[in-house]
Copies of this chain bind each other. A is one copy, B any other.
Amino acid sequence: MKPYREMSKKELKAEIASLHEEYVRYQNMGLELNMMRGKPCKEQLDLSMGMMDALTSDEDLTCEDGTDCRNYGGLTGIQEAKVLIGDMMENNPDNVLIFGNSSLNVMYDTVSRAYTHGIMGNTPWCKLDKIKWLCPVPGYDRHFGITEYFGFEMIPVPTSPTGPDMDMIERLVASDPAIKGIWCVPKYSNPTGYSYSDETVRRFARLKPAAPDFRIFWDNAYGMHHLYDDKQDYLIEILAECKRAGNPDLVYKFASTSKITFPGSGIAAMATSPNNMEDILSTLKHQTIGHDKVNQLRHVRFFKDIHGMTEHMRKHAAILRPKFEMVESILDKELSGLDIGTWTKPLGGYFISFDTMEGCAKSVVSHCKKAGVAMTAAGATWPYGKDPHDTNIRIAPSYPPLEDLKKATELFALCVKLVSAEKIYDDMQNESAQPAAAEK
């Protein structure tokens, strides 16, 4: 099929009629499918059921250093968990703090701590008139949710396949001390699946922020989440690079096992410099006596070491890969050549990012919804939920069973076609109407 824009009005009208008929057919199916959130599916959760047997009443819940995991204490986490998570994050265990079940919670608390008490002796952000925050777009809605909730002014930064626009970031952070942070998902990014290039990471590590308390919030959520054995993205490790660049305290790096074992029952962690750690612990010691050491030990006993985790991630990939490939093949088949949308083909992570023609994303999502398929709200990938061009849609292929995913993606592609065709047809109508109006 040729691009919609090259069709005659008559051809396009016929196409719309046919698409509409098909759409009604979907509406009558009574679908109830969900491609909204990056949730692991049941089969992925089943992979970690062995973890439930890792600590039975026959097991000794004592750490290698003699700590009884069942009692109070251990503010920074147990040593063997730091080793495992350090390997996972590619950081020295000495730079790792183990937290509770949610890296989002760690990020929220990190912002909140800076807001209430300031970073490393700097003025608490609550005492400043204005805080600004850089937000590479499209990005993760829950990141933006935190900085919006604290009233920070969020500045969108465009993203390309090599990462966010570093020229813009360098210029902004160097000139404006009100800019205190940036959200980054450096690897298999949410939602594009892009991974930052070596140059991007090097430039991040060499930022010269006007604000001494500017920090990079480096959310390495998908570090282990490759889809392929033979095609994987590798990143320069940011903490080491910051240290080499003479900027050791520039970054907070976050990760968790949420999408490795059980979301909500995993362990979250931060890797950062000794100065930042000391600063964080001066708060943390008032906040808690310690996080869940038994669950830390459970993870360590289950995986044994990073090789165990790598093997485990292969099993996740085996479940996720066909889902990503199915979405991509349907989009290819249905949309290629029509010139009405582009999408990413990630090698890992949880999302595919789709860009419609300008002004179509909301309508596509709403069409999907009316036919029983829930998508992430259009705009969610932008700060304040406002996508200025109304183009970006996040596709989350992980949760639905393969058959459902097939149907949902076919419907999605259909909605893209229908909304785009109608938009182009309306444009044609307006174009032909305008000269007529001018003749009056």
Contacts and interface: CB of A to CB of B under 8 A. Distances in A.
Contact of A263 (B52, B72, B108, B264): B72
Contact of A264 (B52, B283, B292): B292
Contacts of A105: 287-288
A102 interface: yes
A230 B435 CA distance: 95
Interface in A268-287: 283, 286-287
A57 interface: yes
A372 B154 CA distance: 56
Contact of A126 (B124, B142, B290): B124
A31 B263 CA distance: 46
A390 B55 CA distance: 46
Given A124-B126, A294-B265, A295-B295, A286 B146 contact: yes
A37 interface: yes
Interface stretch (A39-47, A83-91, A187-195, A196-204): A39-47
Contacts of A101: 100, 288, 291-292
A297 to B, nearest CB: 9
A116 B150 contact: yes
A126 to B, nearest CB: 4
Nearest to A291: B101
Contacts of A39: 71-72
Given A53-B56, A127-B126, A291-B101, A264 B74 contact: yes
Contact of A72 (B37, B109, B150): B37
Given A124-B126, A295-B295, 9 more contacts: A45-B71, A52-B55, A52-B59, A71-B263, A104-B287, A142-B289, A264-B294, A265-B295, A292-B292
A288 B102 contact: yes
Contacts of A265: 69-70, 292-295
Contacts of A50: 57
A343 interface: no
A177 interface: no
A158 interface: no
A50 B61 CA distance: 13
A258 B53 CA distance: 23
A265 B100 CA distance: 10
B68 A57 contact: no
A419 to B, nearest CB: 30
A76 to B, nearest CB: 13
A42 B60 CA distance: 12
A319 B354 CA distance: 62
Contacts of A127: 126
A81 to B, nearest CB: 13
Nearest to A261: B70
A174 interface: no
A152 interface: no
B45 A56 contact: no
Contact of A262 (B45, B108, B287, B294): B294
A92 interface: no
Interface string A99-129: 0111011001100100111000000101100
A102 B289 contact: yes
Top 7 A-B pairs, shortest CB-CB distance: A126-B126, A265-B294, A49-B57, A72-B263, A70-B262, A105-B288, A108-B287
Nearest to A290: B264
A73 interface: yes
23 contacts: A39-B72, A52-B56, A52-B59, A53-B56, A56-B56, A69-B262, A70-B262, A71-B262, A71-B263, A100-B100, A101-B292, A102-B288, A108-B286, A108-B287, A108-B288, A109-B287, A112-B116, A117-B149, A126-B127, A262-B294, A264-B293, A265-B293, A265-B295
